[in-house]
């Protein structure tokens, strides 16, 4: 029994489901084939803005963002190397780790290796304060993080100078090693600063708790939500949203801006690499969202968040 099994998404997916997905479905011709040819858009980051104390948001790729808020540089789920295990990046990090500004805070949503990356933590070292859900300090320490680790439960808040950082629920699960499933908690973050409030969902399936997050922790200015890693739906539905669900989640949150993430960086699931942004744009339009409020950033793109 994992410590947080009672909070984990259901139905649980295990080895038999993986075997069906990876072996049986291809034998039956049921697996989606990526036509190929798509290249994830990327651009150089705005180095001057990133080095300044001005509020900004840069997409490094996957779920990794650099957020500057309250004159603090905050990294979300930093994955800064060329691969996670055997899976190589499709596009280089939007900001190379050597080019990052001094990092004040690192927030980790959960301990899956495409979010808690030991190689990246080792390079960030002991300068930042690390914020993570309950049970994750041991993984961070093993990767070289400092003693400045704050663990949070759902709805718990920590203050760092002008920032308030709250861990909020997500519909997901955790596992760093095969024997520690759900021993550590998972979640998303609401970070409130002088310039506004950012939300990073981490990995999550779709659920009605988005409304509660918006009500209790809002108003939210920038909601970073996953639009990729959703096929096959029978396997992924309990743990990852699709683009249509992400657009609906942004509306439920009451977010002023919907910032797409978790696509185009690693080939983890079956949907074509270039499909998520197309579907996200169509879904956002169907939700009545203004086009300029949907941010599907190029990898490396930096947006100024000042008012």
Banded model confidence at residue 30, pLDDT cuts 50, 70, 90? confident
Short-list 105, 138, 140, CA closest to 120: 140
Query: Mapping DSSP to helix (H, G, I), strand (E, B) and coil, where does residue 279 land?
Result: helix
Whether the per-residue pLDDT at 249 is higher than 70: the answer is yes
> Please, are residues 286 and 40 in contact by the beta-carbon 8 Å criterion?
no
Placement of tokens 């939300």 in the chain: 199
Average pLDDT over the chain, rounded to an integer: 96
pTM, full prediction: 0.96
Sign of torsion, CA 278 284 286 290?
Answer: negative
Short-list 150, 153, 113, 98, CA closest to 128: 150
* pLDDT, tens digit (0-9, with 9 covering 90-100), for 48-74: 999 999 999 999 999 999 999 999 999
As given in the structure block, the two tokens for residue 146 are 């400092």
Banded model confidence at residue 11, pLDDT cuts 50, 70, 90? very high
pLDDT at 33: 80
């Amino acid at each position: 029994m994992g410590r947080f099994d009672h909070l984990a998404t259901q139905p649980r997916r295990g080895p038999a489901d993986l075997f069906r997905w990876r072996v049986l479905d291809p034998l039956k011709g049921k697996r989606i084939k990526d036509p190929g040819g798509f290249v994830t858009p990327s651009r150089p980051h705005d180095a001057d803005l990133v080095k300044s104390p001005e509020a900004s948001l840069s997409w490094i790729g996957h779920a990794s963002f650099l957020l500057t808020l309250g004159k603090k540089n905050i990294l979300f789920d930093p994955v800064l190397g060329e691969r996670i295990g055997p899976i190589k990046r499709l596009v280089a990090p939007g900001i190379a780790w050597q080019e990052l500004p001094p990092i004040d805070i690192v927030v980790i949503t959960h301990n899956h290796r495409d979010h808690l990356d030991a190689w990246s933590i080792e390079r960030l070292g002991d300068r930042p304060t690390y914020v993570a859900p309950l049970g994750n300090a041991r993984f961070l320490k093993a990767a070289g993080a400092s003693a400045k680790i704050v663990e949070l439960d759902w709805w718990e808040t920590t203050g760092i100078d002008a920032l308030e950082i709250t861990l909020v629920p997500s519909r997901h699960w955790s596992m760093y090693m095969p024997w520690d499933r759900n021993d550590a908690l998972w979640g998303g973050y609401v970070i409130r600063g002088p310039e506004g409030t950012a939300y990073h969902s981490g990995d999550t399936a779709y659920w009605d708790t988005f409304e509660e997050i918006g009500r209790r922790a809002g108003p939210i200015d920038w909601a970073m939500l996953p639009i990729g890693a959703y096929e096959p739906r029978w396997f992924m539905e309990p743990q990852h949203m699709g683009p249509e669900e992400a657009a609906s989640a942004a509306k439920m949150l009451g977010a002023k801006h919907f910032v797409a993430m978790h696509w185009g960086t690693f080939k983890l699931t079956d949907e074509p690499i270039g499909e998520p942004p197309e579907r996200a744009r169509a879904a956002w339009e169907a939700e009545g969202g203004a086009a300029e409020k949907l941010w599907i950033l190029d990898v490396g793109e930096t947006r100024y968040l000042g008012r």
